[in-house]
Homo-oligomer: A and B are copies of this chain.
């Protein structure tokens, strides 16, 4: 039975990517060896790393604009620390839109002063704060573009005078933005880019090297840049599968094409949430709703067993909400087909009919 994979991450990847990824575990590039057992310094893998880095920049239209793409380890969680280590001299400004913003702030506070310019914590992060001012003497402004747990997404970004850094872990490569407005973007691979185990960092070279702090080698972006993202052994397979996924995205028309699909999926589901009296969205303001993660609840808890049985019977996977929100969360990342959203919407209608 076909599964409809709504997992919040690690999450659905394109079937064609999985087929190639499985084949490479047995024989990579017809070389008689597995991708898992070749040297990361081999010509074949160096080509993978360079291709993945180049594709990431091209998708973001940041090639030839003074940016470097790196595939590091440690997830966005390590980036919370690295951004502050490399860029926080006196004071940094953070927008708090959810659990991951909150964690980023906590780690940065170990390094220097952090000004939280706004927060929606008091409302369990069910909206994106919009009216706030950023201290003009901040070293950088940090935000989280999409909040997986709460289902909110920043639809616009402030105009700032200092470097803007964005954690795009859960919506990178999903929509068109002017990415050149950002001076650094980072994203764990395990949503729209590949499997868990590697993290994309895209950084504008000129913002680095401006503070005096001694930076440990593994936390220093300049060290990783100087070594072409191979200062130490990279997460070979995760980078390879990310490259395959970035090629898949290129072949179907890039971010512009996938954005149309993502908008169609989101519209289909949110229309049903709004129409169906049995469901209500978690996010307070429709304009803050994420196209990646739709969070919603039943209006009648008595229908929970019915709904849960129906979606499981339909082959849907990973629909339970995060414990800090409850209810349901439908994660509709790039590789999720519209057909899977239709299956969920049909189940919602069936549940309504049984109420």
Q: Is the CB–CB distance between B233 and A10 below 8 Å? A: yes
Indicate whether A25 reaches chain B with its CB closer than 8 angstroms. Answer: yes
- How far, in whole Å, are A58 and B259 apart by their CA atoms in the complex? 49
Indicate whether A263 reaches chain B with its CB closer than 8 angstroms. Answer: no
Of A130-138, A151-159, A188-196, which stretch is located at the interface? A188-196
A contact patch SS: loop
- How far, in whole Å, are A216 and B219 apart by their CA atoms in the complex? 12
Known contacts A81-B219, A217-B107; is A22 also within 8 Å of B26 by CB? yes
Further pairs besides A74-B232, A197-B234: 8, Cβ < 8 Å? A9-B233, A10-B37, A10-B236, A18-B37, A73-B75, A74-B78, A78-B218, A188-B233
Stoichiometry, copies per complex: 2
- How far, in whole Å, are A42 and B3 apart by their CA atoms in the complex? 15
Known contacts A22-B26, A37-B11, A235-B197; is A217 also within 8 Å of B1 by CB? no
Contacts of A236 in B (CB 8 A): 10, 190, 195-197
Interface size class of A (residues with CB under 8 A): 35 or more
Contacts of A3 in B (CB 8 A): 31-33
Indicate whether A311 reaches chain B with its CB closer than 8 angstroms. Answer: no
Contacts of A32 in B (CB 8 A): 1-3, 315
Indicate whether A64 reaches chain B with its CB closer than 8 angstroms. Answer: no
Q: Is the CB–CB distance between B25 and A37 below 8 Å? A: no
Indicate whether A179 reaches chain B with its CB closer than 8 angstroms. Answer: no
Indicate whether A106 reaches chain B with its CB closer than 8 angstroms. Answer: yes
Contacts of A195 in B (CB 8 A): 36-37, 236-237
Q: Which residue of B lies closest to A17 (CB)?
A: B36
Write the nearest CB–CB distance from A52 to chain B, whole angstroms: 14
Q: In the complex, which residues 61-78 of chain A have their Cβ closer than 8 Å to any Cβ of chain B?
A: 73-78
Q: Is the CB–CB distance between A238 and B235 below 8 Å? A: yes
Select which of B7, B36, B214 is within 8 A of A13 by beta carbon: B36
Q: Which residue of B lies closest to A219 (CB)?
A: B81
